[in-house]
Chain A
Amino acid sequence: MTDLFIDNLSLSYGNTVVLRGITVPALPPRALVGVLGPNGAGKSTFLRALAGLGGYTGSATLDGEDLGTMPFHRRTGKIGYLPQSLPQGTTLIAYEAVISACRAVRPDLPRPAIETMVEDIFDLLSIRHLAFKALNTLSGGQRQMVGLAQVVVRKPALLLLDEPTSALDLRWQINVFEVVRSVQDQQDGICLMAMHDLNLALRHCDHVLLFGQGRVISCGAPNRAITPEHLRNAYQIDGRVEVSSTGIPFVIPNGIARELTRDSDQGTINT
């Protein structure tokens, strides 16, 4: 069982406070949380802070242990963070990239155990055919899948994925959600996923955390957190939320919200 509590978190990027007062109600095990918001809203800063790669004030605890003071090695065992950038295109083959990610930080595991883990993850992500290809010969999307494999291979209880679907086509986007669900089921884990596609969030996430204007605009079940009003506040757009014939809600953006266009020219928010 994994419990994540986030209470009154404030985050800075450089000297600027990007987000303040983030409080997320206790997340149940197996929760898949979509972290949404416009460019520069602080989605990446938020995930990096939880991964222990950036400072924060306030309180964030995983299974009762404060993330800020958790020792490096324990954090490694529990948290998997996928950066927004793709892995570098090197002459390493995908299999080496994934196995090194595991062996670099888990020298305690015997080699056969690691080989089994790596084998499983290539199957789980359906990228077995890429295993012996050099990263510099793979497409952006394929490299993104290898990056995901490097993070997911350790089956962390808390997955922090920064736009894992940004370079992927539709089929692979759905594949990523299936992979995440499968890992969560095995670990009773929680996943926080930054993304831009509101419809993917509506379709696949259990919860949504919508950032904007330097704060949390809304937080909760997708159909309650993504409303026309919240979209206007977060993205400064006019949009509708409709329900498809299968009962799943989806967003149709109409245009830039007129009364706010002048302020949102730069797409940034003054905090």
Chain B
Amino acid sequence: MAHSPSLPSPSGSLARQYRSFVMRRVIWLAVLLTALAGTVIINIMTGPAELAFGQVIRGILDPASLSAGDDIIVWQVRLPYALLAVCVGACLGLAGAEMQTVLNNPLASPSTLGVMYAATLGASLAIVFNIDVLGIPQNYLVPVCAFIGAVASVLLIVGLSRTFGATVDTVILFGIALVFALQALISLIQFVADSDSLQQIVFWTMGSLARATWEKLAIVAGVFALCVPFAIRQVWKMTALRGGDEYARSFGISVERLRLTVLLRVSVMTAVAVAFTGVIGFVGLVGPHIARLAFGEDHRFYLPGAALAGGFILAGASVLSKSLVPGILIPDGIVTALIGIPLFLVLLIKQKRRAA
């Protein structure tokens, strides 16, 4: 998608110069991808039973070489866990990046605008009231309910920013209000929940990858893979939108339609990401910023960069969550929040300075 040297020789020297200009970004993407792969392997190595690097590689390439115990550890426990971290992180990174572009707001992300909490509320309702629709298994029903919650919050954000003007401050303040309101509602549900559901919801609000399975991984990866082609189709429109709404409209881009379709996609990705892991904040905020610094805002690089950065952050956080206190798995949501909040504050202050 990014770079195809096989095309006929460029018609002019600007195009040729641009190709060597983007080569640096392609290299950075490759570096990030390598770092991500490295983190996944470290993630598989880390845990109560320590595995060596060679063991992990051999075990993945040739499962038969592992002992029965190691086989279960690698294939049933750690591999789905490590890959779910990557997929959820990638979903959140991509969702955050697209959200920041369509809302023209560098502080937007699924967690700062409450979309994630709305998804949590939807999922909590499904868990507590044990909603049963046509016998659909809970693995599918919970994400659907989370999605309904996420879409509702996105529509609310779009509606309110249309009514009151979509300045950076208004949208963020509204998002904060939404987060508080949703947290109160989630608490209310916890209050009425029985002890079994309560445990599930508490686990949810902390955000953890601990219950990763191959099925959950397949659902998250499948949804991500489904969303990517749509993101690719709109990649130039999204880049053009960076000039501002008025310019995008003048080029002939239907800005309202673009905004709505992208936000729906963001809701789907957020919902499926948090449906199995719970609230994992700040990945969707920090991932896009790393991508913007490294790749600029040409969305052909910015979007894959944000997805990779998101995957990398969550994969790294999940290694930390296993290794900070040996033997204890700290919920990943807590780790990402502790890393993310200082970064969020730095971004907020920089934003304020730029506005002043």
**16 other A-B residue contacts (CB within 8 Å) besides A85-B247, A88-B244, A131-B17:** A81-B250, A87-B243, A90-B243, A91-B292, A92-B296, A97-B242, A97-B243, A100-B240, A100-B298, A103-B236, A115-B15, A118-B14, A119-B11, A122-B14, A150-B243, A151-B251
Q: Which residue of A lies closest to B252 (CB)?
A: A76
B10 located at the interface, meaning its Cβ lies under 8 Å from any Cβ of chain A in the complex: yes
Per-position binary interface string of chain B over residues 243-270, scored 1 when its CB falls under 8 Å from any chain A CB and 0 otherwise: 1101111111110000000000000000
A128 located at the interface, meaning its Cβ lies under 8 Å from any Cβ of chain B in the complex: yes
Binding site for B on A (CB under 8 A): 51, 53, 72-73, 75-76, 80-83, 85, 87-88, 90-93, 95-97, 100-101, 103-105, 107, 111-112, 115-116, 118-119, 122, 128, 131-132, 134-135, 147, 150-151
B14 contact set on A, CB distance < 8 A: 95, 115, 118-119, 122, 128, 131
A83 contacts B247, C-beta separation under 8 Å:
yes
B11 contact set on A, CB distance < 8 A: 112, 115-116, 119
A97 contact set on B, CB distance < 8 A: 240, 242-243
In the assembled complex, 21 residue pairs joining A and B whose CB atoms fall closer than 8 Å, in A order, are A72-B252, A73-B252, A85-B244, A88-B243, A91-B292, A91-B297, A92-B296, A92-B297, A92-B298, A96-B298, A97-B242, A100-B236, A104-B239, A105-B252, A115-B10, A115-B14, A116-B12, A131-B14, A131-B18, A147-B247, A151-B251
B15 contacts A119, C-beta separation under 8 Å:
yes
A87 contacts B247, C-beta separation under 8 Å:
yes
B17 contacts A132, C-beta separation under 8 Å:
yes
Q: Which residue of A lies closest to B8 (CB)?
A: A112
| Complex partner residue of B242 from A83, A90, A103, CB under 8 angstroms | A90
B236 contact set on A, CB distance < 8 A: 100, 103-104, 107
| Complex partner residue of B296 from A82, A101, A122, A134, CB under 8 angstroms | A134
A100→B298 CA distance, assembly (Å): 8
A105→B12 CA distance, assembly (Å): 22
Query: What is the distance, in angstroms, from B233's C-beta to the closest C-beta of chain A?
Result: 9
A132 contacts B21, C-beta separation under 8 Å:
yes
B355 contact set on A, CB distance < 8 A: none
B322 located at the interface, meaning its Cβ lies under 8 Å from any Cβ of chain A in the complex: no
| Complex partner residue of A76 from B21, B251, B292, CB under 8 angstroms | B251
Q: Which residue of B lies closest to A147 (CB)?
A: B247
A87 contacts B244, C-beta separation under 8 Å:
yes
With an 8 Å Cβ cutoff, the count of chain B residues facing the other chain is 32
Binding site for A on B (CB under 8 A): 7-8, 10-15, 17-18, 21, 104, 236-237, 239-240, 242-244, 246-254, 292, 296-298
Query: What is the distance, in angstroms, from B17's C-beta to the closest C-beta of chain A?
Result: 7
Q: Which residue of A lies closest to B22 (CB)?
A: A96
A132→B22 CA distance, assembly (Å): 11
Q: Which residue of A lies closest to B14 (CB)?
A: A119
| Complex partner residue of B250 from A91, A134, A135, A151, CB under 8 angstroms | A151
A203→B148 CA distance, assembly (Å): 61
A105-B296 CB under 8 A given contacts A87-B243, A90-B242, A119-B15: no
A101 contacts B240, C-beta separation under 8 Å:
yes
A81 contact set on B, CB distance < 8 A: 250
A82-B250 CB under 8 A given contacts A91-B297, A115-B10, A119-B15: yes
B248 contact set on A, CB distance < 8 A: 104
A185→B117 CA distance, assembly (Å): 57
Q: Which residue of B lies closest to A120 (CB)?
A: B12
Number of A-B contacts (CB under 8 A): 108
A32→B142 CA distance, assembly (Å): 61
B17 contact set on A, CB distance < 8 A: 131-132
A92 contacts B250, C-beta separation under 8 Å:
no
B12 contacts A75, C-beta separation under 8 Å:
no
Residue of A82, A97, A128 ringed by the most chain B CB atoms within 10 A: A97
Q: Which residue of B lies closest to A135 (CB)?
A: B243
Residue of B11, B14, B298 ringed by the most chain A CB atoms within 10 A: B14
A80 contact set on B, CB distance < 8 A: 250
A119 contacts B12, C-beta separation under 8 Å:
yes
A147-B243 CB under 8 A given contacts A92-B297, A112-B10: yes
A104-B254 CB under 8 A given contacts A95-B18, A112-B10: no
Residue of B8, B10, B13, B236 ringed by the most chain A CB atoms within 10 A: B236
B250 contact set on A, CB distance < 8 A: 51, 53, 80-83, 151
A73→B292 CA distance, assembly (Å): 31
A76 contact set on B, CB distance < 8 A: 251-252
A101-B243 CB under 8 A given contacts A76-B251, A91-B292: yes
A82 contact set on B, CB distance < 8 A: 250
Query: What is the distance, in angstroms, from A39's C-beta to the closest C-beta of chain B?
Result: 19
A115→B274 CA distance, assembly (Å): 42
Query: What is the distance, in angstroms, from B107's C-beta to the closest C-beta of chain A?
Result: 15
A156→B190 CA distance, assembly (Å): 60
Residue of A105, A131, A151 ringed by the most chain B CB atoms within 10 A: A105
B243 contacts A91, C-beta separation under 8 Å:
no
A105-B239 CB under 8 A given contacts A92-B298, A95-B14, A116-B11: no
A131→B298 CA distance, assembly (Å): 14
A90→B101 CA distance, assembly (Å): 11
